[in-house]
Amino acid sequence: MASERVEDEHFEEGAEGEEGDEFIDPNDVLVEVADDGDHPMDEYDEEGMEGEPMPDESIVYEDNSTQHFPNHNGSVFAVSTHPTAPIAVSGGEDDLGYIWDFMTGEELVKLTGHSDSVTSTGFSTDGELVATGGMDGKVRIWRRVGKDDWRTWEFLTELTGPDEVMWLRWHPKGNVLLAGSNDTTVWLWQLPSGNTMQVFAGHMGPVTCGDFTPDGKRIVTADAEGTLIYWDPRSPSPVFKLTPSDARFALDGITSLAINPASTLAVVGGASGGVRVVSLSKGDVVGALAGHKEGESVEAVEFVELATPGPLSGGAAAASGGVVVTGATDGKACIWDLSTMRLRATLEHGDAVTSLHHLPPPKAHLIVSASVDKVLRTWDARTGTLVREHKGHHGPILGAALGLGGGVVVSAGDDGVCLVWPTE
């Protein structure tokens, strides 16, 4: 069976578009801020209100983005960047995906064929394939044409199985794609053939998040009922399962997860603000991190590498678990030291944090946070210092991705626009 080859050939850290980023309910009321903005209008006129304001806007927006992509007709739910080329793929409420050049803002390819919102996107690790996943349950794959540039793509195949795609993740080493569904199943496909390698059953609710371990050998998935499952991709049976029946793992549903670079720990965030550290070798809870407001959902988890000069950096920190950042609807991103299970610093947004993204080395101490407060921020995770603010959105930011080796940040906005900024 095709899956027998999985261990050696295959099996990325899910940088892009953290699942569960569709903040569509309470945060659509952008009008609330209008009153505050009425008074200082005159003082700030020179900041870019050229013509008359839009009828429903009485607020001056600052925009320090370097490029924008406004082609979506409706909210943009997901955005991902190519591993090396200056292109992004975005998916939206208009049932469309687009591949576009984030240096010029030019549309390269319109990705059609979905009959409902496109909520997941991703380039394969080698950058030759791109996937879109939708609320219609379809996963559609496009392939690059030729070797000259990244401007021409052709439709390859449509993968079906899920009822509604919750998230997509490409394998860190090969053309294998993982998808979580709202119908409790998890799907694994081999590309370019499109063959189904495995359907994982064992969850009791919508599979809200999941990923390959960074070494590519295992899979971690979690659901809205609070169950986490650790899989060997070659087997349909779990290696281990943690459920809310274990009181230490009661999280009121799992909303986010991340796996450390060593593939030994998973950190999961819960719907009511809880965070748990799980040893993947022991199959057990080894820590609980309490820093978010109770009842506020943890929407993003991201590991960072604090390669600060000094005796305790590098190997020692990695061996003891390293540093993880959790972002929640309470507007906070908490930086945790997993060797002590203590809070190092708290990063503040004015509203829910929707996604977190770490930069690759040598800037691995930097992290970018996106928020419903319409702003992305770059932080130095060693100190919790704000490095740069990325402004220009008129509504909640639902997703983001880092491109060009972390040099730029690309966003997906509820206002229907993708924006681009230098990361620092």
Q: Which of 393, 306, 400 is nearest to 353 (CA)?
A: 400
Question: Residue 26 pLDDT > 60, yes or no?
Answer: no
3 state SS of 382: coil
Percent of the chain topping pLDDT 70? 82
For residue 305, report the phi and psi dihedrals to the nearest 5 degrees: -110, 115
Report the pLDDT value the prediction gives residue 271, as an integer from 0 to 100. 95
Could you identify the residue written with the tokens 């980023």? Answer: 21
Percent of the chain topping pLDDT 90? 79
CA–CA separation, 329 vs 18, rounded Å?
Answer: 14
Tokens of 56: 């429903």
Question: Residue 53 pLDDT > 70, yes or no?
Answer: no
Q: What's the whole-number mean pLDDT along residues 3-21?
A: 40
Report the pLDDT value the prediction gives residue 307, as an integer from 0 to 100. 61
**DSSP type of residue 320:** T
pLDDT-derived band at 378 (thresholds 50, 70, 90) equals very high
Q: What's the whole-number mean pLDDT along residues 328-354?
A: 95
Question: Residue 305 pLDDT > 70, yes or no?
Answer: yes
Q: What's the whole-number mean pLDDT along residues 158-163?
A: 93
**DSSP type of residue 309:** S
* CA separation, residue 193 to residues 132, 147, 241, 378, 382 (Å): 16, 20, 31, 40, 44
pLDDT (tens digit, 9 = 90+) per residue, 266-285? 999 999 999 999 999 999 99
In the chain, the amino acid numbered 93 is E
CA–CA separation, 78 vs 25, rounded Å?
Answer: 17
Sign of the torsion angle spanned by Cα atoms 104, 110, 111, 115: positive
pLDDT-derived band at 315 (thresholds 50, 70, 90) equals very low
* CA separation, residue 206 to residues 54, 225, 231, 253, 255 (Å): 40, 8, 17, 10, 10
Bridge partners (DSSP) of residue 371 are 353
In the chain, the amino acid numbered 286 is V
Report CA 113 to chain centroid distance, whole Å: 23
pLDDT (tens digit, 9 = 90+) per residue, 385-403? 999 999 999 999 999 999 9
Question: Residue 311 pLDDT > 70, yes or no?
Answer: no
Report the pLDDT value the prediction gives residue 320, as an integer from 0 to 100. 54
pLDDT (tens digit, 9 = 90+) per residue, 33-47? 334 434 433 433 334
CB 139 within 8 A of CB 114: no
Question: Residue 312 pLDDT > 50, yes or no?
Answer: no
**DSSP type of residue 53:** P
pLDDT (tens digit, 9 = 90+) per residue, 215-224? 999 999 999 9
Question: Residue 55 pLDDT > 80, yes or no?
Answer: no
Report the pLDDT value the prediction gives residue 347, as an integer from 0 to 100. 96
CA–CA separation, 16 vs 233, rounded Å?
Answer: 22
Q: Poorest-confidence range of 16-25, 192-201, 242-251?
A: 16-25
Report CA 157 to chain centroid distance, whole Å: 24
CB 179 within 8 A of CB 165: yes
Q: What single string gives the DSSP state of each residue in 224-281?
A: TTS-EEEE-TT-SSEEEEE-TTSGGG--SSEEEEEE-TTSSEEEEEETTS-EEEEETT
pTM for this structure? 0.84
Report the pLDDT value the prediction gives residue 61, as an integer from 0 to 100. 72
Sign of the torsion angle spanned by Cα atoms 233, 161, 159, 94: negative
Average pLDDT, the chain: 87
Cβ-based neighbours of 418, under 8 Å, separated by 6 or more: 68, 69, 70, 72, 76, 79, 88, 90, 100, 102, 410, 411, 412
**DSSP type of residue 360:** P
